[in-house]
Structure 1
């Protein structure tokens, strides 16, 4: 192994959190290196282009109107936002019934709608009792961390249709069954977004050039400071310095910022070992299962039928579809998300059979024309070696209240970032950027004290 290289800060991970941390460190004239295990940049952001020039986002894609940091980056790097197509009816499949509606709720009885509105108000009220940066400190933490999301919604909602509707939307958002996730985890997400309504508006825009274009433009502005194919294997540290080893090189620094998902932390050897609570948190931090598919059609035929392209279903493997067609309408693009149990079941099939199952589901939702895409793209994020799931970590009962106190607490010169550590918009790209903002401030403060 070559002699140790020296920088002020080592950043582990070249996803959005790592790259925006580097961007901020560069502004403050600190030296740094970004070490990335993959052969590409972006982490959970990954885009490609179809043979006829249609942008395809296989990873994180959507941006909401309240994502001020992402909106700032998009403006700074000269990218174009596309509003998600919402004109027309949304399809809801629940309890064996298919409904279409022009509103935000499917057509249901006034009693069910009142039940759902009551749930939204109740959840917003409870979530305001949870500190977004430290939910484990809430007076309600222990109580909420003992029950699942399934138990929470059943205690609030009085109607079966209301429970089905809430389950449909929440399971898509979490990529997990409502009985798998702590109620505290879910309410923390709501708190970090500001409200349920904010959360439901988080898919309002996407980047015309693809989210990975933002990653590439940030990278271009950083120069020769990013090292690909450099999985970090070992971190040796004391209070004054840290040495980071990959299979090829080693780097000595004052601080290290780790931006990888918590589940991947177990693949790095730390000397001395990390505190037991931090290790136990990582061991309980597996990401949910998710597969994202893109179907490209000759044209957005669903619009001709008065449909928006948005569909929710608890009757097929496809949990959510959204229209991601280019602005000029030269092609129709349906983005398809399969999460939780459905993802785990369908990923066992060969690729051709998976595609057949997806097309069957789309035909059920949109008619026979959906069976004939001119191109299909797929990304199984659970199979991705350096991610192992998506969209972000959600915790089972008992984990946050017992172990998450270590989520953002520095360990000597080691600091933590990534969307899982965000106090605003946890799970989203905005959360990744907010986490880097926090950690850079933290690191600079510590360095200037020394």
Structure 2
């Protein structure tokens, strides 16, 4: 949780779930194609001014392009179809000059979306980051999306809500197999054979998981097709525990962006915990390529990788290891969120939040802000509830979508950029400037030469 995620902060505060700031001191690391670099801000450090231009251009361009996208209707603007039919890889290959920049974009996809850049729509990539309040907020720890964690884990929010609602209203281990609706209401059947009736129903599943349910009447064609085209990301979340946070000895923050088995890490030294840990994510192709290994084999591969990334053999001696393969979860299917391949947003997503009779849709994929996060899930759930309140005449249509006031306890501070970061051109922009300057110089020289020749002729 971090600034601008005001809904999850408000709810956690109501429920009495406390939070703490994540460790964000020291040097971050980038590792790419066997080369170890430190991070300068949110980009790999480099001595090459042209590479710096390219990297700086990347994240500024993401925000600049995102300004054009309407968050509630990302299919409805002039460039929508062009951007939606293009993969992130295709865009990066034709936009950026250096392989490191292209690789950096790829790692952002693997870590942020658990998907490969070759599989994901550019429009989705831009829309998602804009919904995360822009690239800096989306990517940062301090003042960003990774700033805080919940004491006892974010599951404390779910557990506390369930406790307040009461066990007779929160039914576990009863997966829904069928939803039937008619003019009188909705009938829900579970795998345990239980039957429940209601006036309306909200499905807060990822789109890909909605097809595990039988519907009567059947879902409309476009909705059925959408569900088939909105896959979950591929990710294994890992926790490597040590007897001491050895990376801090070298002043490393333990924030790492890398290619290979681990695409990103973060320091996970919880207050009061006896053993410090490193969170590491295996995402995209790496998750699919290593999911057949045993848990111990993955642990050993990761430990060796940490020894390389953190330049310390202490990484080879973990005291404990925990992992969660989200791809094995039968009612989730992956993580952290569903994403769209090329063409899906403009052809199918118009029905993403559209009710079907008495069936309404929530889930973080349907959020227009912080989609993929708990904050987006809360926005979606509250919106769907208000849609039903509007359907039964309790509130007006204008009250369905409501803005959340900014938290005074977790304000979104502006990010400070240097003069160079704000004004340095892209490589293409710089070359255009040089070309134009040379042309103007040549034209000026020609004019001067011609003037000099005319003056000499006049003298003769």
TM-score, structure 2 normalization: 0.81
Question: Shift of the alpha carbon at 1:329?
Answer: 6.4
Q: Distance in 2 between matches of 1:295 and 1:103?
A: 26
Q: Which runs of 4+ in 1 moved over 3 A?
A: none
Deviation of 1:74 after TM superposition, in Å, equals 2.1
Please say if 1:280 is aligned against 2:225.
yes
Which runs of 5 or more residues in structure 2 are unaligned?
A: 396-460
2:246 to 297, 301, 304: 301
The answer (yes or no) to whether the contact 1:322–1:336 under 8 Å persists in 2 is: yes
Aligned to 2:162: 219
Query: More deviation in 101-110 or 143-152?
Result: 101-110
| From 347, 372, 377, the counterpart of 1:427 | 372
Select 1:75's aligned residue among 3, 10, 13: 13
Bigger proportion of residues as helix: 2
Separation in 2, partners of 1:220, 1:197: 37
Tell me, yes or no, if the aligned pair for 1:243 and 1:252 is still in contact at 8 Å: yes
1:102 & 1:126 partners in 2: Cα distance?
23
Deviation at 1:142, TM superposition (A): 1.0
Aligned residue for 2:125?
186
Q: Distance in 2 between matches of 1:283 and 1:169?
A: 25
1:187 offset after TM fit, Å?
A: 1.2
Preserved CA contact (<8 Å) 1:293 1:377: yes
1:383 CA drift (Å): 0.8
Which of the pair has more CA radius of gyration? 2
Q: Which residue among 147, 151, 156 is the counterpart of 1:208?
A: 151
* Alpha-carbon separation, structure 1, partners of 2:6 and 2:278: 27
CA shift, 1:326, in A, is: 1.4
Question: Contact 1:299–1:329 (CA<8 Å) still a contact in 2?
Answer: no
Is residue 346 from structure 1 mapped to residue 284 from structure 2 by the alignment?
Answer: no
The structural deviation recorded for 1:159 is 2.4
The SS at the match of 2:130 is helix
Worse overlay, 239-248 or 373-382: 239-248
Give the count of matched residue pairs.
387
Q: 1:269 aligns with which of 183, 194, 214?
A: 214
With 335-344 and 169-178 compared, the bigger mean Cα shift is at 169-178
Tell me, yes or no, if the aligned pair for 1:301 and 1:332 is still in contact at 8 Å.
Answer: no
Deviation at 1:157, TM superposition (A): 1.9
**Within-5 A mapping of 1:119-158:** 119-158=58-97
- Kindly indicate which of the two structures has a greater share of residues assigned to strand: 1
- What CA distance in whole angstroms lies between the structure 2 residues aligned with 1:171 and 1:350? 22
Specify which of 232, 246, 256 is matched with residue 176 of structure 2. 232
Q: How far does the alpha carbon of each residue in 1:55-81 deviate from its partner, in whole angstroms, 9 at most, with x for none?
A: xxxxxxxx1211001111222222222
1:382-401, aligned counterparts within 5 Å?
382-401=327-346
Per the normalisation by structure 1, the TM-score is 0.83
- Cα offsets for 1:193-216 (capped at 9, x unmatched): 221112112111111221111211
Is the CA contact (8 Å cut-off) linking 1:235 and 1:245 kept in structure 2?
A: yes
Contact 1:91/1:101 (8 A) holds in 2? yes
Aligned pairs (5 A) from 1:55-94: 63-94=1-32
Bigger drift between 99-108 and 189-198 goes to: 99-108
Return the match for 1:164 from 82, 95, 103.
Answer: 103
RMSD: 1.6
Question: Equivalents in 1 of 2:183, 2:123: separation in Å?
Answer: 34
SS in 2 for 1:227: coil
Against the structure 1 CA distance between its residues 333 and 102, is the aligned structure 2 distance closer, same or farther, given a 3 Å change threshold? farther
Structure 2 contact 31–257 (Cα < 8 Å) conserved: yes
Counterparts of 1:8-19 in structure 2 under 5 Å?
none
- Distance in 1 separating the partners of 2:39 and 2:136: 18
Deviation readout 1:19-63 (Å, 9 max, x if unpaired):
xxxxxxxxxxxxxxxxxxxxxxxxxxxxxxxxxxxxxxxxxxxx1
Judge conservation of contact 2:4–2:133 (CA < 8 Å) in 1: no
Q: In the alignment, which residue of structure 2 is the partner of 1:173?
A: 112
1:111 aligns with 2:50: yes
2:315 corresponding residue in structure 1: 370
Higher relative contact order (CA 8 A, sep 6+): 1
Tell me the equivalent position of 2:299: 355
- Give CA deviations for 1:228-256 in whole Å, capped at 9, x if unaligned: 11111111112441111113211221110
Larger mean CA deviation between 235-244 and 285-294 belongs to 235-244
Q: Which runs of 5+ in 1 are unaligned?
A: 1-62
- 1:3 is matched with none
